[in-house]
Amino acid sequence: MTRSERPTIVDVARAAGVSKGTVSFALNGRPGVAEETRQRILDAARDLGWTPSHQARALSVSRAFAVGLVLAREPELLGADPFFPAFIAGVERTLSDRGQALVLQVVPEAQEEAGYRRLAADGRVDGVFLLDLRVADPRIALLAELGLPAVSIARPEVPSPFPAVLVDDRPGIAAAVGHLVELGHTTIAHVAGPSHFLHGRVRRQAFEQAVKDAGLRPGPVVEADFSAAGGARATREVLVHKPTAIVYANDLMAIAGLSVASELGVVVPAQLSITGFDNTDLAAYVSPPLTTVRTDPYLWGRAAADALLASIEGGTVDDVPVPAAQLVVRASTSPMLPAV
């Protein structure tokens, strides 16, 4: 092989001392190859400077070697919400290790169904991720109709033939409420996410149940849109009711709430305790640092990508458990100071 020639899979097989078929299995992450052999093949491919021809791979097995993610969100919201970059980073890490690509479409909600139909009709992807599950989510039936493998983030409330990454927000919200109750708070409000999103509704229901379990009267609940601006508006509305604590459905809204409280002269945490959800990087650096609930969207992305690729390969894939969310206590919560 001269320096001008591009190395082929045959060259990799010869260098590793295995068959061409074994190389194909190893490079595509398929089972049946011993780990020592797989590593020898990967080392040979690296030493030769071999890179896959995706066009040849796709033609040989009628595959796109790409998966899709359709997001019906405003682009500016995606840029502000740290969840999506972390989740996509986890997905990309797994896909790059397996020679796969991610096709991302950000569309208006009215064009979401058309986005999935285009991906399926054009053969651009072999499967898709389902984020932002809806109440009575119609996309489950749509993807079953299209015959596209899928993995959902959380188990939908409607029957689904697809595996799910078993994200459960309820323990995290319950832990936040329990923490505030232990601090002596009795009037606890909630700034909720959109009720048409399943995780927005689940977090609200978890809040209401936790307050009830603590023997407290329900505090005010105001629905917002997970954005900072929405969180600020909701905070102003909630503070009219003079709660001693507010549980927010995400960190972005909680950080906006800290700003509003400061603007209105409400001292956090002496006069008002605040909790968030997600444990974003910024949460530890606002003033005061935010008590919040730690989740791991990067891990979810990796788990979802592994499950989706296994489904595409035709295997039976079970739901994927992930570690439970954990409360991270910082300085935005404290016992109430006695009235003077």
Q: Hunting for tokens 């009711």 — which residue is that?
A: 241
Q: Is the predicted pLDDT of residue 54 greater than 70, yes or no?
A: no
CATH of residue 240's domain is 3.40.50.2300
Q: Does residue 87 fall inside a structural domain?
A: yes
Number of domains in the chain: 3
Quickly state the pLDDT bin for 275 (edges 50, 70, 90).
Answer: very high
Residues of the domain holding 274: 170-294
Backbone angles phi, psi at 213, to 5 degrees: -65, -25
Q: Is the predicted pLDDT of residue 295 greater than 80, yes or no?
A: yes
Quickly state the pLDDT bin for 62 (edges 50, 70, 90).
Answer: low
Check whether residue 162 and residue 301 sit in a common domain: yes
Q: Is 71 helix (H, G, I), strand (E, B) or coil?
A: strand
Distance CA 311, CA 334 (A): 47
Q: Does residue 80 fall inside a structural domain?
A: yes
Check whether residue 71 and residue 98 sit in a common domain: yes
Check whether residue 78 and residue 138 sit in a common domain: yes
Q: Does residue 13 fall inside a structural domain?
A: yes
Q: Is the predicted pLDDT of residue 60 greater than 80, yes or no?
A: no
pLDDT 10s digits, 123-136 = 889 999 999 999 99
pTM of the model: 0.81
80 to 69, 73, 204, 232, 285: CA distances (angstroms): 18, 11, 22, 15, 16
Q: Does residue 58 fall inside a structural domain?
A: no
For the beta carbon of residue 153, count every other beta carbon within 10 angstroms: 25
Q: Is the dihedral of CA 328, 225, 134, 280 positive or negative?
A: negative
Sheet holding 221-223, edge to edge: 221-223, 188-192, 245-248, 273-275
CATH of residue 22's domain is 1.10.260.40
Check whether residue 85 and residue 125 sit in a common domain: yes
Check whether residue 233 and residue 184 sit in a common domain: yes
Residues near 236 by beta carbon (within 8 Å), at least 6 away in sequence: 260, 264
Mean pLDDT is lowest, of 37-51, 97-111, 151-165, 307-321, for 37-51
Q: Does residue 4 fall inside a structural domain?
A: no
Q: Is the predicted pLDDT of residue 3 greater than 90, yes or no?
A: no
Structure confidence at residue 316 (pLDDT): 85
